Amino acid sequence: MSASPVLHATAQLRDVRLHYVTCGFTDQTTRAVMLLHGWPQSWHEWRHVMPELAEDHAVIAVDLRGLGDSSKPVVGYDKMTLAADLIELAGQLGLTQIAVVGHDWGGAVAAALALQQRQLVTHLAMLDIVLPGIPLPGMGDGLGGYWHMQFHQVMDLPEALVTGREETYIRWFFSNFAHNPAAINPEDVAEYVRCLQQPGALRSGFGYYRAMGDDAVAFAEAARTPLDCPVLALGGAQSIGAGVKLCAEQFANNVIGGVIDHCGHWIPEEKPAELLAQLRQFLA
């Protein structure tokens, strides 16, 4: 089977322009797998997974509001608003059912999407993220131990210190939050830096962290009615690990998953073959 082409497009929504990439779409596509990236990344983090997944599914990878090549509004970085962008995008594209897969903050947006639109989302996969507002038994909120969670919430200071040093800054995360730092090569880093150097990109990215207080309230409320759709929750052994599945079990009834060995935070890039196998089985 010849590989489907990867096609780039943009959609103008009410207050944001989203860049997205499709693979395996036709004019009749109404069901798709939606891939959502984290910070400091873009749709590019799915480059190893997307073409193979498109052998069996229509696939769309979206640059979330404020990141990648999407526009960068001043507001709207709470995860429910980010999910609302994707609901509007799905409507424009004529998608009536989606399986949503999210890594890092993309996993939180994916969960917000599933919690808001239970008829639209058929499957939810969360990769190496736990949700603000969902306490983990014995682990608190699961995010408090990461220094950058607090630093990125400080107004203005991160932008002042990181501007002009974007590559140095994000290389630290790719090296220190990975089991295999070589999984993200210099060309990949250059692509992420290109996006982060666009006007407003640092402010927008830090906005994901500055919205955590609002996110905690929204997730706690939405999770009072547990999800019934299938949930796949995976954490890297050298990162959040079993905490991802533990988090999902607090708000969903049908959870599988666990830990990917010899893997850090960057699952789609460190372990794409294992992730692809798990996604294929989960979505079959």
- List, as one string, the DSSP characters of 150-196: HHTTSSSHHHHHHTT-HHHHHHHHHHHT-S-GGGS-HHHHHHHHHHH
Q: Which of 247, 253, 275 is nearest to 262 (CA)?
A: 275
- CA 153 – CA 208 distance, rounded (Å): 9
Q: Is residue 170 within 8 Å of 192, Cβ to Cβ? A: yes
Active site residue ranges: 104, 209, 265
> Quick one: which H or E segment has residue 246?
helix 243-248
Burial 190-205 (b: 16+ CB within 10 A, else e): ebbbebbebeebbbbb
The pairing of beta strand 97-103 with beta strand 121-127: parallel
Provide the 8-state DSSP code for 75: S
Q: Which of 161, 179, 160, 162 is nearest to 170 (CA)?
A: 162
Q: Which of 102, 64, 66 is nearest to 86 (CA)?
A: 64
Q: Which of 200, 219, 209, 202 is nearest to 16 (CA)?
A: 200
From the number of C-beta atoms within 10 Å of its C-beta (0-12, 13-18, 19+), residue 242 rates as: middle
Q: Which of 249, 214, 207, 216 is nearest to 230 (CA)?
A: 249
